[in-house]
Amino acid sequence: MSGNTFGGIFWSDGSYFAPMLPDLPVFTRCTGCGEILNIFKARHEEAGSWEEADGLPSVGHLSPEDIREALESGRYQDAEEMIYLRRRLWWSMNDHPYGDETPTATEVTGEYRDNAIALMSLLSGESNGDLITKAELYRNLGDYEMCLETLTKINEPSLNTQKVQIEEASRKKISGTIRFNNS
């Protein structure tokens, strides 16, 4: 599959909406048996025609409740699977401004904090991508000093625009997810 991000909207938590680049799920709930599964580890059936495809299970994104169920099941212990599920749960708990509206302050519930801490512990912290995610999590939790400290460790020029915007939001004590201005 190919696509592009022209006209896409990107948020500080790493989520995005890009009409020409669909977000393909890694986990789904089978419409046949009801199990939550990793589509890359599941048995696949391929149809040769539309007629053959009729009736095969479909693939879709998990609801926040499905993500919680997958995490609580204990079936998924692989670090990459846990990161995927915890990141998706984080995204589902964040408000994502579509326009120029002021970001909504993050409501830090016990579940939100526990998920953020679990996600941070799964990230190595060595890569620039992990560091910017951790900085955003700290900001969402209202730990602006840790956010700013983490941002100083990022040395990837391609992340400068995002880094500056997260830093600005942190200095203004804005905890909510921000829409990146990619100009």
Q: Which pairing describes strands 9-10 and 27-29: parallel, antiparallel, or unpaired? A: unpaired
Contact 94, 140 (CB under 8 A): yes
Q: Is residue 119 part of a domain?
A: yes
pLDDT (mean) for 134-142:
98
Structure tokens at 102: 């002021």
Q: Is residue 49 part of a domain?
A: no
Domain extent for 103: 9-43+57-178
pLDDT (mean) for 143-161:
96
Q: Is residue 148 part of a domain?
A: yes
Q: Which of residues 76 and 115 earns the better pLDDT score? A: 115
pLDDT one-digit tens code per residue, 15-57: 988 878 778 889 999 887 889 999 888 777 777 777 777 777 7
Q: Is residue 183 part of a domain?
A: no
**Dihedral through CA 117, CA 84, CA 4, CA 14, nearest 10?**
-10
Q: Is the pLDDT of residue 149 over 70?
A: yes
Q: What is residue 49's predicted lDDT score, i.e. its pLDDT?
A: 79
Could you tell me the pLDDT band of residue 143, with boundaries at 50, 70 and 90? Answer: very high
Could you tell me the pLDDT band of residue 1, with boundaries at 50, 70 and 90? Answer: low
Q: What is residue 12's predicted lDDT score, i.e. its pLDDT?
A: 96
Could you tell me the pLDDT band of residue 81, with boundaries at 50, 70 and 90? Answer: very high
Q: Which has the closest alpha carbon to 26: 76, 85, 90?
A: 85
Q: Indicate the average pLDDT of the chain.
A: 90
Total count of domains within the chain: 1
Q: Is residue 25 part of a domain?
A: yes
Q: Is residue 143 part of a domain?
A: yes
Q: Is residue 110 part of a domain?
A: yes
Q: Is residue 50 part of a domain?
A: no
State if pTM tops 0.85.
yes
Kindly state the helix (H) or strand (E) to which residue 59 belongs, with its residue range.
Answer: none
pLDDT (mean) for 91-95:
96
Q: Is the pLDDT of residue 67 over 60?
A: yes
